[in-house]
Amino acid sequence: MALKNINPTQTEAWKKLGEHYSEIKDIHLKEFFKNNPNRKEEFTLSDDDFLVDFSNNRINQQTINLLIDFAKEAQLEDAISKYFSGDVINVTENRAVLHTALRDASNEEILIDGTNIKSEIQTTLTKIESFSNTVISGEWKGYTGKAITDVVNIGIGGSDLGPDMVVEALQFYKNHLNTHFVSNVDGDHVSEVIKHLNPETTLFIIVSKTFTTQETLSNATTIKEWFLQSATEKDIAKHFAAVSTNLKAIDAFGIDQNNVFPMWNWVGGRFSLWSAVGLSISLSVGFTHFSSLLNGASEMDQHFKNTPFKENMPVILSLLSIWYNNFFGCETEAILPYSQYLNKLPSYLQQAIMESNGKSVDRDGNQISYQTGTIIWGSTGTNMQHAFMQLVHQGTKLIPTDFIGFKESLYGLNDHHNKLMANYYAQMEALAFGKTKEEVHLDLKFQNEASKIATLLPFKVFEGNKPSNAITIKKLTPKSLGKLIALYEHKLFIQGVLWNIYSFDQFGVELGKELANKYYNKIK
């Protein structure tokens, strides 16, 4: 059964939120903290290894209550149960949305057209495991009898961003295989990657859900031609694998049936890293770590499914985001991981969130009169402090931010880690509390700069009152990374439900592709 069609702006709770917004919009975070000494504890959610502190938001307890009333009135509970049980909630493509099934290790059946998909998932996982083990151990030989040294993932969008982001994030856990990603149709991209590769020791994985994507097919064809300059057609079986739903097209490309991994229509491209699309992850860090990544995501699935809204991390984060997007009129959200390993997380989340919720027609097909998908951007701390944070601190725009930090570093170097985390907490404090005229005045005086007070004072004032969430995680492991990604997947799902849009199609990318084909024929 499909999701209910409920216009959020017509709910009782929405109206109350509007009134509540007028009452509290000008209250400073300093006031909120002053008025409630227990604010930190009241607005922090935690479990074994995750802590979400949302006390630096422009909210009070009533805001949370009203937001939760809104989620209930918009029937979020019903949507969650349909999401996990495989109802056709991707109505415009007539599909279920079951990336959560890929990491569900329970014995519960999930039926699609009467077939339990759990056994297909298990068979594929077993195949990923044995394929990865054979390649990593060196048992898998290339056409001249040498072991594989390099793996190249050829894909784009969801068939690239997820694996690329995770492989980079889990570098610490990596084995000896060098992993590369070719995505752009820009021939210079593929040329730069292959120029250092030896065809005898390289394994190429072509990842494309549809196997019709221009970029991926062009890159795969160029690579095949390059490979065939030194090898023969029959050697392709030792060097090419493919992941797709389109088995016919894979066959036509000449890939050995044994090296074909399935994809399913009920997994959206941008949610597919948990499937065989994540083969490059499993090759890069080994199947045990890949499995832990899945377990971490599953842990977040359980939390999301079974926790009351008030203590539910994805629910709270999505409601806060709606609060800023729809009441404060914020247009963007910044994702700021304090870990160089998570360098690619913002781009990955851009696709996940913006391709999902960038919609302006509701589930009834009507033009929407309220704001939906937020613009996602970001970069890693501390580098971004020396780049764009000036605008977040003192610019004219209100930008809610998610800070993501880890209590422990991976290599030790504790002094570095202490400095990193000091910056993490300092940025959030500066954003929230700012610096008053009086404080600037005193500062200048103490620095023996009293003569400059008249000219400099207004420029050195920080207004503060800028919202942030702190997602503080014990340590970056495959498991905690899986949990973090799933947190954002659920956050965007909730927002789509509450905005009354379809989050799991992406028709907006089609027109450009069609026109590009027209131009291509002309340019040729």
Interactions with ligand F6P, residue window 203-262 (CB under 6 A): 208-210, 213, 216
Which stretch in 2-10, 154-162, 297-305, 451-459 sits in contact with ligand F6P by CB under 6 A? 154-162
Q: Which is nearer to ligand F6P, 154 or 392 (CB)?
A: 154
> CA-CA distance, 185 to 223, in Å (whole number)?
12
- Based on CB atoms, which residue is closest to ligand F6P, 55 or 216? 216
Among 270, 303, 344, 466, binds ligand F6P (CB under 6 A): 270
Residue pointed to by tokens 């302006």: 360
Q: What is the 3-state secondary structure (H, E, C) of 275-337?
A: CHHHHHHHHHHCHHHHHHHHHHHHHHHHHHHHCCHHHCHHHHHHHHHHHHHHHHCCCEEEEEE
Given a contact cutoff of 8 angstroms between Cβ atoms, the answer to whether 142 and 231 are in contact is no
Interface with ligand F6P, residue 465, by CB under 6 A = no
To the nearest whole angstrom, how small is the minimum distance from the Cβ of residue 97 to ligand F6P?
Answer: 13
Q: Which of 34, 310, 397, 513 is catalytic?
A: 513
Out of 102, 156, 297, 399, name the contact with ligand F6P by CB under 6 A.
Answer: 156
Residue linked to tokens 């509970």? 77
Neighbouring residues of 220: CB distance < 8 A, sequence distance ≥ 6: 154, 204, 206, 253
Judged by CB under 6 A, which of 269, 278, 337, 381 binds ligand F6P? 269
| Cβ atoms within 10 Å, residue 203 | 23
Q: Residue 474 Cβ, how far from ligand F6P at the closest point, in Å? A: 31
> Which region among 68-76, 118-126, 150-158, 280-288 touches ligand F6P (by CB under 6 A)?
150-158
Catalytic choice (168, 215, 299, 355): 355
Structure tokens at 88: 């056709």
Active site residue 513: yes
* 7: nearest Cα among 320, 359, 370, 355: 370
Q: Which of these segments, 23-31, 77-85, 151-159, 278-286, binds ligand F6P (CB under 6 A)?
A: 151-159
d(CA 427, CA 415) in angstroms, rounded, equals 18
Does 183 bind ligand F6P (CB under 6 A)? Our answer is no
User: Where do we find the tokens 């889990």?
Assistant: 170
CB of 259 to ligand F6P, least distance (A): 17
Whether 180 is catalytic:
no
Nearer to ligand F6P, 43 or 348 (CB): 348
Instruction: Please indicate whether residue 355 is annotated as part of the active site.
Output: yes
Least distance from ligand F6P to the Cβ atom of residue 161, Å: 8
Considering beta carbons, is residue 86 or 269 the nearer one to ligand F6P? Answer: 269
DSSP 367-416: BPSS----EEEE--TTGGGGTTHHHHHHSSS---EEEEEESS-SS--HHH
Cα three-residue angle 398-404-409, rounded to 5 degrees: 150
* Closest separation in Å from C-beta 475 to ligand F6P: 30
Min dist CB 182 to ligand F6P, Å, is 13
Q: H/E/C letters for each residue in 196-211? A: CCCHHHEEEEEECCCC
The DSSP bridge partners found for residue 206 are 154, 242
Of the listed 195, 248, 386, 522, which one is catalytic? 386
Closer to ligand F6P by Cβ: residue 159 or 427: 159
- Distance CA(381)–CA(413), nearest Å, equals 17
Least separation in angstroms between residue 2's CB and ligand F6P is 21
Q: Which is nearer to ligand F6P, 422 or 509 (CB)?
A: 509
Q: Given the complex with ligand F6P, which of 103 and 270 has the nearer CB atom?
A: 270
Query: Is 163 a binder of ligand F6P (CB under 6 A)?
Result: no
Interface mask (CB under 6 A) for ligand F6P, residues 333-362, using x and -? ----------------------x-------
Gap between the terminal Cα atoms of the chain: 47
DSSP 366: P
Rounded to a whole number of angstroms, the minimum distance from the CB of residue 492 to ligand F6P is 14
Comparing CB distances to ligand F6P, the nearer of 319 and 486 is 486
Q: Are 326 and 338 in contact (CB under 8 A)?
A: no
Q: Which is nearer to ligand F6P, 292 or 372 (CB)?
A: 372
Alpha helix (H) residue ranges in 74-228: 76-85, 118-137, 161-169, 187-194, 214-228
**CA–CA separation, 92 and 268 (whole Å):** 13
| 172 Cα distance to chain centroid | 20
Q: Which residues, numbered 435-454, are part of the site for ligand F6P (CB under 6 A)?
A: none
* List 8, 86, 142, 158, residue binding ligand F6P (CB under 6 A): 158
Cα separation, 190 vs 209, whole angstroms = 20
Count residues binding ligand F6P (CB under 6 A): 14
Q: Please, what is the minimum distance in Å from the beta carbon of residue 211 to ligand F6P? A: 7
Among 153, 202, 356, 506, binds ligand F6P (CB under 6 A): 506
Interface residue list for ligand F6P (CB under 6 A): 156-159, 208-210, 213, 216, 269-270, 355, 506, 509
Query: Would you name the residues annotated as active-site residues?
Result: 355, 386, 513
